Amino acid sequence: MSSLEQMYQQVILDHAKVLHGKGLVEPADGHVVGESHQVNTTCGDDVTLRVEIDESDPENPVVARLSWEGQGCSISQASISVLHDLVAGESVDAGERAGEVFRELMSSRGKGLDDDSEDLLGDATAFTGVSLYPARIKCALLGWAALRDSLVTSGVLTNKEQA
Amino acid sequence: MTTTVGTSHLDHCPTYGALSARELAAVRADFPLLERTVRQGRPLVYLDSAATSQKPTAVLDAEQDFYERRNAAVHRGAHQLAEEATEAFEGARAEVARFVGADVGEIVWTSGATAAINLVAYALSNATLGRGGAVAQRFALAPGDEIVITEAEHHANIVPWQELAARTGATVTYLPVDDEGRIDTSVVDRVITERARVVAFTHASNVTGAITDVAPIVRRAREVGALTVLDACQSVPHLPVDLHELGVDFAAFSGHKMMGPTGVGVLYGRRELLEALPPVTTGGSMIEVVTMTESTYMAPPQRFEAGTQMVAQAVALGAAAQYLGELGMDAIAAHEREMAAELLKIADLPGIRVVGPTDPENRLAVVSFVVEGVHAHDVGQILDDAGIAVRVGHHCAQPLHRRFGIVSTARASAAVYTSAQDVAAFRESLAGVRTFFGVND
Ligand SMILES: Cc1ncc(COP(=O)(O)O)c(C=O)c1O
């Protein structure tokens, strides 16, 4: 497989065509909301990502809904779409963990991660090839930066977790 | 000098035809970097000269030679090396001055065009604060004054003026561009009002490649007594430029885009204006007398060159100006006009929209475009895989992109070393982009 094909895996091209979670949704009553706007300064691409947190179990807050609006390249758009599938409906902790592992993947220089980590990421492992291109890592991380920041603005992350 | 094709070429071609294949091959041989391969052995096709040009051996050698044989502190020191270093440094200033039709005392070294534009903006600011005494009062800005820019500008010719406006209470207004991205000079009389104090505009757009019709803007600015500041970053490397003939008050350009090194650029200022302008960066090398409470300043250009200068880079920039001069700017412009025509053929490919004039006249070989259905970053990636280097993004011109309702474009830009084969490889690769992403109609 050429490095170009490694980068533009079918999963990525498919997501880029049919974007999951796109279109900001009005939050439901009673949900805590966090929102973040992130810009990729090189190209001006941007995303606004909104999370709705269900805190009915205070021990285990859940990302009840995740929606977003934005524009960007196939890598950034597909990455947000995959993020949506990984994080929406899951616990905040799981979403945080996925973000951490995805960031690790992006610094793997094309080598990928161990099986456990890749299982956790599912479709998102398709971005392994992107980590070969320093200029595109930012594209893949745009949505994940917005997720991180929206969880912070929602107040579910404690200061310790933010650090 | 490793190349002399310029002069002999011009002798034979009074109409300044473009380079012959042999001449082009000789030019390309001057640029060692063009020989390298990228991405698993593909020959490099460098179409990003508007961002930064590659460097000929003559320039690389000049910098190395300075460090190897003449390196010393300039303008001081009573030894032979210091004399030789000063001579090289000042010789480069004279070379660059000649190259752009200026007097040697009108050339101020800066770290680049951005620094040069900021220098003007801060000098005006200092004058507004009363610095520079009575002679500098003509530069003072007041609330209600207007700083006129254009919609075609690079951020380097927008943000410093916004900041100056914020510091002085002046207002930024702008000349619009037309649908081809050309600055609309039909509205100069309306937009450049009696309150205009500064008119800052680009000589050639780094996005659309459009060359500005300078005369009507200068005419109107003079009529209302506004200073003109020309961003000559893209014009000086690619066109014959005579700053005296253009009649602008200030001009800025960067060494690295004209085959010179990074870290050096030029502020041109009409002598009379530089003499009246207060300094910006202060310290050593720009003073006459320093006491514990106050100082007096040297005449320009030294007044604006505080601290140790980028001597080796300036020397190498002199070599770059000499290299371009020997090739001949008319010959360079003629060759690049051909490359512009080659590049513009992409407009015939399905789903490709050129942002800028589609006629090769009065434009540079800088062609920005949108591929319908494919983001510029993805376009750049496919081209990169074929060894073709283009730039993607907003090219530091967000307002211009916004004017066309887009966020980013891909941009292919040529220089004198660009060949028709380079452009053909680019077109071929570009033709496959929409298929790759499955957006063929
Ligand atoms: C038209 C124009 N103006 C200003 C600049 C800024 O030049 P520099 O970054 O070398 O200071 C550039 C370079 O990108 C340019 O193309």
Q: Print burial letters for B413-431: b (CB count within 10 Å at least 16), e (below 16).
A: bbbbbbbeebbebbbebbe
pLDDT in tens, chain B (441 residues): 344 343 444 444 434 568 999 999 999 999 999 999 999 899 999 999 999 999 999 999 999 999 999 999 998 878 999 999 999 999 999 999 999 999 999 999 999 999 999 999 999 999 999 999 999 999 999 999 999 999 999 999 999 999 999 999 999 999 999 999 999 999 999 999 999 999 999 999 999 999 999 999 999 999 999 999 999 999 999 999 999 999 999 999 999 999 999 999 999 999 999 999 999 999 999 999 999 999 999 999 999 999 999 999 999 999 999 999 999 999 999 999 999 999 999 999 999 999 999 999 999 999 999 999 999 999 999 999 999 999 999 999 999 999 999 999 999 999 999 999 999 999 999 999 999 998 876
- C-alpha B366 – ligand 1 centre gap (Å): 14
A140 vs B contacts (CB less than 8 Å): none
A71 vs B contacts (CB less than 8 Å): 407
Say how far apart CA B424 and CA B434 lie, in whole Å: 17
Same domain, B129 and B71: yes
Specify if B193 maps to a domain.
yes
For every residue of B205-272, DSSP letters joined together read: -TTT-BBP-HHHHHHHHHHHT-EEEEE-TTTTTTS---HHHHT-SEEEEEGGGGTS-TT-EEEEE-HH
User: Could you say which of B265, B291, B325 is where a domain stops?
Assistant: B325
> Given A16, A71, A139, which is nearest B407 (Cβ)?
A71
Same domain, B251 and B384: no
Specify if B52 maps to a domain.
no
User: Could you say which of B292, B308, B325 is where a domain stops?
Assistant: B325
- Shortest Cα distance from B382 to chain A (angstroms)? 7
B437 vs A contacts (CB less than 8 Å): 13, 16, 74
B377 vs A3: CB contact, 8 Å cut-off?
no
Would strands B196-202 and B227-231 be described as parallel, antiparallel, or unpaired?
A: parallel
The residues spanned by each domain of chain A are 3-156
- What class does CATH assign to A3-156? alpha beta
Same domain, B139 and B262: yes
pLDDT in tens, chain A (163 residues): 678 888 999 999 999 999 999 999 999 888 899 999 999 988 888 999 999 999 999 899 999 999 999 999 999 999 999 999 999 999 999 999 999 999 999 999 999 999 999 999 999 999 999 999 999 999 999 999 999 999 999 998 764 454 4
Specify if B288 maps to a domain.
yes
pLDDT recorded at residue B268: 98
CA distances from A75 to A17, A82, B105, B300, B431 (A): 11, 10, 51, 51, 21
Find, among A131, A133, A134, the residue nearest to A121 by Cα.
A131
Same domain, B43 and B116: no
Same domain, B311 and B338: no
What's the pLDDT tens digit per position in A117-159? 999 999 999 999 999 999 999 999 999 999 999 999 999 876 4
Q: Please, which residues bridge with residue B46 across strands?
A: B389
Catalytic member of B298, B396, B406, B420: B396
- Shortest Cα distance from B404 to chain A (angstroms)? 14
Say how far apart CA B18 and CA B5 lie, in whole Å: 12
Question: Which residue segment(s) compose the domain that B346 sits in?
Answer: 9-47+329-436
For every residue of A88-153, DSSP letters joined together read: TTSBHHHHHHHHHHHHHHHTSTT----HHHHHHHGGGGGGGGGGG-HHHHHHHHHHHHHHHHHHHH
B437 vs A75: CB contact, 8 Å cut-off?
no
Say how far apart CA B86 and CA B75 lie, in whole Å: 6
Same domain, B317 and B178: yes
User: Could you say which of B307, B325, B343 is where a domain stops?
Assistant: B325
Same domain, B36 and B142: no
Q: How many domains does chain B have?
A: 2
Window 100-139 of A: residues touching B by CB (8 A cutoff) are: 133, 136, 139
Same domain, B383 and B257: no
Both tokens of B281, joined, read 């960066």
Number of other CB atoms surrounding residue B186 within 10 Å: 11
pLDDT recorded at residue B12: 42
- Shortest Cα distance from A122 to chain B (angstroms)? 23
pLDDT recorded at residue B13: 41
Same domain, B127 and B13: no
Same domain, B221 and B281: yes
B382 vs A contacts (CB less than 8 Å): 4
The pTM is what?
A: 0.93
Going by CA atoms, what residue is nearest to atom 9 of ligand 1?
B114
Beta-carbon pairs below 8 A across chains A and B: 49
Same domain, B70 and B126: yes
Same domain, B201 and B347: no
Number of other CB atoms surrounding residue A96 within 10 Å: 19
> Given A7, A44, A73, which is nearest B394 (Cβ)?
A44
Specify if B130 maps to a domain.
yes
What atom in ligand 1 is closest to the CA of residue B113?
11
B438 vs A13: CB contact, 8 Å cut-off?
yes
Specify if B55 maps to a domain.
no
Residues enclosing ligand 1, CB less than 6 A?
B 112-114, 154, 156-157, 202, 206, 231, 233-234, 254, 396
Specify if B413 maps to a domain.
yes
Q: 3-state class of A87 per DSSP?
A: helix
**Residue whose structure tokens are 């066309």:** B404
CATH code, B198: 3.40.640.10
Active site residue B396: yes
Specify if B35 maps to a domain.
yes
